[in-house]
Structure 1
Amino acid sequence: MKIILFTNGIWGMPVVEKLHKEGVLGGVVLPSGVDNSALCNYLEILEVQWFELENKDQENELTPWINGKNASLALVFCFPYKIDKQVFESFSEGIYNMHFGDLPKYAGPDPLFWVLKNGESKVHIVVHRMNQYFDSGEVVYSQELQIIPGETYGLLGSRLSMFSSNLINQVIETIKKDHYENTESVPVAQLPRPTEEDLCIQWESQTADQIESLINAANPKYNGAATMFRGVKVRIIEVSPIDNNELIFMDAGSIVRADPQMGVFVVCKDKKILRINVIQMPEGVFSGLKFAALGIQAQERFTSIPVESFEEELI
């Protein structure tokens, strides 16, 4: 059996390596317009052929390329484009997608963001037979993993990509054994890509745990979670929860302590404390210690970005 892999970015490397090691990798399809230089260099070392796909050339260019590889099965892993119907017809065993997030709950183009933002303690790697609808089709394999407390988007995605490569043989054997057929296609509700509003801290309504979850979900892909400080938009990239037994009578977002040796500490709606570890400002990216050394004072406050500013962006 030869397999064509549709993938994107460095997260695809472990799966490429595994399929190549098993001797079943017939070629790799990559999206164009994306910096895949590291992945392409790796494919060159492995002497694996690849095809850079533009959405418009699937029928006239991609399909003949696939047909020349004599592959009966395709795997899709972190691939951003919708695959056309005629491409499905090129694979007698079908096309299967490896999706990070339980289906249909976390259907959509960026499930890991929502898994982390929602504070889930577990994440699923789900394999389903693809059809013309995104993240639809029969689920053939599912594996549940614990999320490590404090894990960021980048760390979790990298760990899942390594774990996925170890599932390849099980997934292939499951597909070969049960011979899944195309079933009736039914669209499922999709979670969208996060908007700038989704990436903003709401100090008045979010707890410390919710704010930490949002910041982890936005690191590094979305450059952290946005908030206002001294009238300027900044992005908080990393925080740590701090044990605190004191009852603090300050508004959410207020700085309760700023110390160049200890950092900057902020109180949240539920009176829990977060320490700012990394923050991005117009002047640069700073550690919490460097941020405190800039003259930050206790009683200063982070505030939510006004809703009107998002409405202005849409006009």
Structure 2
Amino acid sequence: MEIQKKILVLCGGKFAFPTLQLLAFEKFMCGIGIGNASETIIDALERESEENHIGFKSFPDKNSVAEMRLWIDQIQPDYIFCISFPFLLPESVLSYGAERFINFHPGPLPQYRGAMPIFEVLKNQETETAICTHFMNSEFDRGNIIFNDPVPIETGDTYGKLTVKLSSRMAQVALNMANMLQFASSIPNQPQDESLSYYYEKPALSDTYINWNRMSAEEIMALINACNPWNAGADATLQGEQVKIIIASLLDEPHDDMPGTIVSVNDRIQIACADNQQIAVDVLTTDSGIMTALQYKILYPEKTGIFN
């Protein structure tokens, strides 16, 4: 009987937990490396690793990755899976073996390179995303593609909902990859099409800010969903006060107001958008805390006017 392949998983936090659990249950996993995680996550994974006799190592910063090769040499995995590991692996680590390092990117490649493809696909109003499995090299998200596994984006998906969906799907994709490696003598792959490539930097305030004069109601809704919960909502300004809009919906009611005008405040805050449509805000964050639109009306009865 052929000996089962051993897989070491490098990850960045909770997003990889379903994958870790499934690969451990199927007896594939021989080690876990965690990068730049909280003490709570590190402690939990270290305890689980000890109980299951799995190698464990924390990599708290970029400099600590220099210690990785020695650790890998000690464990001797057949393959290394990466799931949201935050640091680029140098050639000194990748030289452990060609086509032994496989990354699972939570977005389609090469169109959505970068650290936060979940935010970008939602902001760009895509109807589908993917988990891209690819070989790794010394550049982020540029190795040869093994396959893109499509994942539909449903109406109303937020960053949180889509993250949970992708995390769950990631576990099955990683298990399928592990089973493929168990029996395949070679892994079909192809170079990425650079004519389709785009790299997204980590979102800045300008990326999460609502521009009422330029953005349509659907674009604003897409941004709000893309910012919930990781940015605690989409950023905006109300009469000089910084706010974040957390939950809202499209309102099929035209208006004659300037974009950004508060049309009415009842149980919802209705705001005019640039395309003659409105959004209805249900939950937002102000300097006074998180509140519903009704609570906002009671707390700020005098506040009407324009979001800037």
Q: TM-score, normalised to structure 1's length?
A: 0.87
**Is 1:250 the counterpart of 2:288 in the alignment?**
no
Which residue does the alignment assign to 1:312? Answer: none
Cα distance change on mapping 1:291 and 1:213 into 2, 3 Å: same
Which residue does the alignment assign to 1:55? Answer: 62
Which residue does the alignment assign to 1:294? Answer: 299
Q: Contact 2:99–2:135 (CA<8 Å) still a contact in 1? A: no
Q: Contact 2:110–2:193 (CA<8 Å) still a contact in 1? A: no
Query: Which runs of no fewer than 5 residues in structure 2 stay unpaired?
Result: none
Cα distance change on mapping 1:236 and 1:85 into 2, 3 Å: same
Structure 2: how far apart are the matches of 1:299 and 1:288? Answer: 13
**Is 1:284 the counterpart of 2:289 in the alignment?**
yes
* Cα distance, 1:39 vs structure 2: 5.7
* Cα distance, 1:92 vs structure 2: 5.9
**Is 1:85 the counterpart of 2:94 in the alignment?**
no
Query: 5 Å matches for 1:57-206?
Result: 57-59=64-66, 61-91=67-97, 93-175=99-181, 177=184, 179-180=186-187, 189-206=198-215
Q: Contact 1:258–1:298 (CA<8 Å) still a contact in 2? A: no
* Cα distance, 1:31 vs structure 2: 1.2
Amino acid paired to 2:217: A
Structure 2: how far apart are the matches of 1:119 and 1:36? Answer: 35
Aligned partner (choices 5, 22, 26) of residue 26 of structure 2: 22
Structure 2: how far apart are the matches of 1:282 and 1:198? Answer: 21
**Is 1:217 the counterpart of 2:226 in the alignment?**
yes
**Is 1:45 the counterpart of 2:48 in the alignment?**
yes
Which residue does the alignment assign to 2:241? Answer: 232
SS of the counterpart of 1:128?
strand
Query: 1:169-223 CA deviation, whole Å, 9 max, x = no partner?
Result: 3222444526249988998642111111111101001011100111111111122
Q: TM-score, normalised to structure 2's length?
A: 0.89
Structure 1: how far apart are the matches of 2:137 and 2:39? Answer: 26
Structure 1: how far apart are the matches of 2:298 and 2:22? Answer: 48
* Cα distance, 1:282 vs structure 2: 1.4
Structure 2: how far apart are the matches of 1:112 and 1:192? Answer: 13
Query: Which runs of no fewer than 5 residues in structure 1 stay unpaired?
Result: 304-315
Aligned partner (choices 186, 194, 216) of residue 207 of structure 1: 216
Cα distance change on mapping 1:242 and 1:165 into 2, 3 Å: same
* Cα distance, 1:147 vs structure 2: 0.7
Number of positions where the alignment pairs a residue of Structure 1 with one of Structure 2: 297
Alignment identity in percent?
25
Cα distance change on mapping 1:150 and 1:296 into 2, 3 Å: farther
Cα distance change on mapping 1:99 and 1:82 into 2, 3 Å: same
Structure 1: how far apart are the matches of 2:147 and 2:190? Answer: 16
* Cα distance, 1:36 vs structure 2: 5.2
Q: Contact 2:144–2:191 (CA<8 Å) still a contact in 1? A: no
Q: What's the C-alpha RMSD, in Å, of the aligned pairs?
A: 2.3
* Cα distance, 1:45 vs structure 2: 3.3
Query: 1:212-261 CA deviation, whole Å, 9 max, x = no partner?
Result: 111111111122211111112211122112233xx3111111111211xx
